[in-house]
Structures are given as C-alpha cells and as structure tokens.
Amino acid sequence: MNQPPTNTPPPPGGQPYYVYPQPPQKKHTTRTVLITLAAVFVVLFGGITSCTVLVLGGGGDDSGHKQVSSSEGNPGHAGKKPAAKQTHDPTKFGWWYDAKKDVAVTGIANSASGRHVTYKVTNQSDKTLDYDITFGLYDSSGTRVGETYGMPMNVAPGESVNVTDPTEGYIDGAPGAVKAKVLSVDAEESSTG
C-alpha cells in the first residue's frame, strides 16, 4: 500500500497525517457568459413583446366585456354606422350652459350717484335664471384697474334686460376706468321664477 509522504510533523501524541492540496477552482467562464446572455435576451425579448402587445391593443383586460361584431348579436344593425356622440342642447339649462354668452357690456355711464357699467342680459336658456356677473375694468392703455359686479335676477327665458341701474356695476372705486369686459358669469335657476 502506498502511503503519501508526510509533509507536516505529527500532531502531539498522534499519528502523522497528510494534507491534500486543494485543486484550483473551476472558473466556468463560458457557462457564466452564456447564462448572462440568455437572461438579457429573455428580458429584452419579453419587454419588447409586452410593449408591442400594449401598443397594438391586445394586452389589456376587458373586464369581462365581449366585443360583438356586426354579424353577431343584433343582425338588424349590421352595416349601420354608430350614432353620433350625444351633445348637450345649448339652450337647455344645466351644468354645461355657458351663461357668459347671455351678457354684453353696453358702456360706462355717469349718474348722480357715480359711474357704473351698463349691460344687457338676454336669457337664451329654457329656465328663468339669476345671474352673477364679474366685470373687469380697464383704463385707456388697456391696463386692468379694477372689477365690479352685477346680479340681475329673475330673467325669464328669451327675455332681454338692459341694466342701467347705478347700483349695479358701480365703478367709482376704479378711477380712470374707461372700458369694461365680462370676465365671468354664473347663472342658476331662479328660486322665485
């Protein structure tokens, strides 16, 4: 029997032993490079595929909705165009109603009690309305120098009201104002009309 040579002294009170040298670690360079390239390929390919599916519209959850073609479901509607998008009637009063189109400034007037904005309100809706109007006041160079307010009430549908009351749109707090513009108009259904 071949015994390996002893290259260290025996431990105290024991038998001599042989320490085998550790073999060099394997580097597995080729295997590591191939696994890394495969992982990068999978991530890139998966990302590109996912983006393509989302862009082309095939990847979303339709939450249980089924798309019906014109040949399925209701054959009476085959080949017909879908109805146009429903729009709100601009003459019907509601959240969509643009009350600003109902108001026009007619000028700036002087009276015994001071200067004020004169304006005309024409109710173009189907309801009796109360208006809350904000006017911007401007000097001759076009610089805004102040604002004032008007609140005509109970304007019936189709009715036009010329407001020349000096207590409406009072502007003596803005000296130099020579022009007025409608900034905003809120309208609500009149509670008394």
Residue-level pLDDT at 20: 72
Return the SS3 of 156.
Answer: coil
The pLDDT assigned to 6 comes to 54
Say if residues 190 and 104 touch (Cβ distance below 8 Å): no
Instruction: Output the pLDDT for position 157.
Output: 92
Identify the CA nearest to 109 among candidates 99, 121, 100, 120.
Answer: 120
Assess contact for 185 and 100: CB atoms under 8 A. Answer: yes
Region of residue 102 (left: phi > 0; alpha: psi -120 to 50; beta: else): alpha
Question: What is the CATH code for 99-187?
Answer: 2.60.40.3230
DSSP at 142: S
Domain boundaries, the chain: 99-187
CA distance 33 to 42: 14
pLDDT of residue 155: 93
pLDDT along the chain (193 residues), means of 10: 58 66 78 86 81 61 48 50 55 73 90 86 91 91 89 92 79 79 90 72
pLDDT score recorded for residue 22: 78
Q: Can you give the pLDDT at residue 128?
A: 92
For position 39, what pLDDT does the model report? 87
The number of beta carbons lying within 10 Å of the beta carbon of residue 61 is 6
Predicted confidence at residue 91, as pLDDT, reads 60
State the pLDDT at residue 41: 84
Q: Are 135 and 100 contacting, i.e. CB atoms less than 8 angstroms apart?
A: no
For residue 55, what pLDDT is reported? 66
